[in-house]
Amino acid sequence: MSLIQRQVHGWHGNQLWFAMLTCLLLFRSGPGWCADESAVPIGTKIKRMEFKDIRYVQRSLDDLGATRGLFPVDATSSTGKQTTEPGRAGAEPAARAPRTKAYVFVFINTTCPLVQKYMPRLLALDEEYRREGVRFVAVNSGAGDSIREMASHSLEFGALFPFVKDALGSCARTLGVQRTPTAVILDSEHRLVYRGRIDDQYRIGGTLPKARKRSLQAAMDDVLSGRPVRVAETAVDGCQITFPIEPAAADLPKVTYAEHVAPVIRNHCAVCHHQGTAAPFSLLTFKEVASHGAMIAEVVGQQSMPPWFASGKHGSFQNDRTLSEQDRLTIHHWVQGGMLPGNSKSTVPIKRQPESKWRIGKPDLVISMLVPHSVPAEGLVPYKYTVLPYVFLKSTWVEAVEILPDNRRVVHHANLAYGAKGEKPSQSTFITGFVPGGQALDLSTLDKDVGFHIPALSVLGLQIHYTTTGKREMARISVGLRFKKGVVRKQMHFNLIDPRRFRIPPNHPAYAIRSSFVLKQNATMLGLFTHMHVRGKDMTFVAHRPNGTRQVLLEIPNYNFDWQIGYEVEPGTLKLEKGTRIEAIAHFDNSAFNPYNPDPNETVRYGPQTMDEMFNGFVFYTYDNEKLNLRIDGKTGWEVPVEPGNSNP
CATH code where residue 114 lies: 3.40.30.10
Q: Based on the fold, state whether residues 322 and 419 are members of the same structural domain.
A: no
Which residues, other chains included, contact 392 with Cβ-Cβ below 8 Å and sequence gap of 6+?
418, 454, 455, 456, 457, 458, 459
Q: Based on the fold, state whether residues 93 and 124 are members of the same structural domain.
A: yes
Q: Based on the fold, state whether residues 75 and 215 are members of the same structural domain.
A: yes
State the pLDDT at residue 614.
95
| 428 occurs within a structural domain | yes
Where among 209, 240, 271 does a domain terminate?
A: 240
- CATH number of the domain to which 409 belongs: 2.60.120.230
Where among 240, 261, 286 does a domain terminate?
A: 240
State the pLDDT at residue 8.
32
State the pLDDT at residue 355.
58
Range(s) of the domain holding residue 595 = 494-623
Smallest CA-to-CA distance from 129 within 97, 90, 86 is with 97
| 580 occurs within a structural domain | yes
Smallest CA-to-CA distance from 472 within 563, 407, 382, 405 is with 407
3-class secondary-structure state, position 12: helix
Q: Based on the fold, state whether residues 147 and 178 are members of the same structural domain.
A: yes
Q: Based on the fold, state whether residues 306 and 411 are members of the same structural domain.
A: no
Q: Based on the fold, state whether residues 235 and 281 are members of the same structural domain.
A: no
* DSSP-assigned letter for residue 40: S
| 289 occurs within a structural domain | yes
Where among 177, 206, 240 does a domain terminate?
A: 240
| 27 occurs within a structural domain | yes
Do 526 and 621 contact (CB within 8 A), yes or no? yes
State the pLDDT at residue 354.
55
Domain count of the fold of the chain: 5
| 642 occurs within a structural domain | no
| 113 occurs within a structural domain | yes
CA distance 47 to 394: 70
State the pLDDT at residue 380.
85
* DSSP-assigned letter for residue 563: -
Q: Based on the fold, state whether residues 226 and 265 are members of the same structural domain.
A: no
| 640 occurs within a structural domain | no
Q: Based on the fold, state whether residues 339 and 220 are members of the same structural domain.
A: no
Q: Based on the fold, state whether residues 261 and 196 are members of the same structural domain.
A: no
The pTM score is 0.87
Q: Based on the fold, state whether residues 306 and 423 are members of the same structural domain.
A: no
Q: Based on the fold, state whether residues 512 and 383 are members of the same structural domain.
A: no
Q: Based on the fold, state whether residues 288 and 171 are members of the same structural domain.
A: no
| 3 occurs within a structural domain | yes
Mean pLDDT, the chain cut into blocks of 10 residues (649 residues total)? 34 36 36 49 96 97 69 38 40 54 97 97 97 96 96 98 96 98 97 98 92 97 97 95 83 90 91 77 91 95 94 93 93 94 74 72 96 94 94 97 94 93 85 89 94 96 94 97 96 96 96 98 97 97 98 98 93 96 98 95 93 96 96 95 56
Do 582 and 574 contact (CB within 8 A), yes or no? no
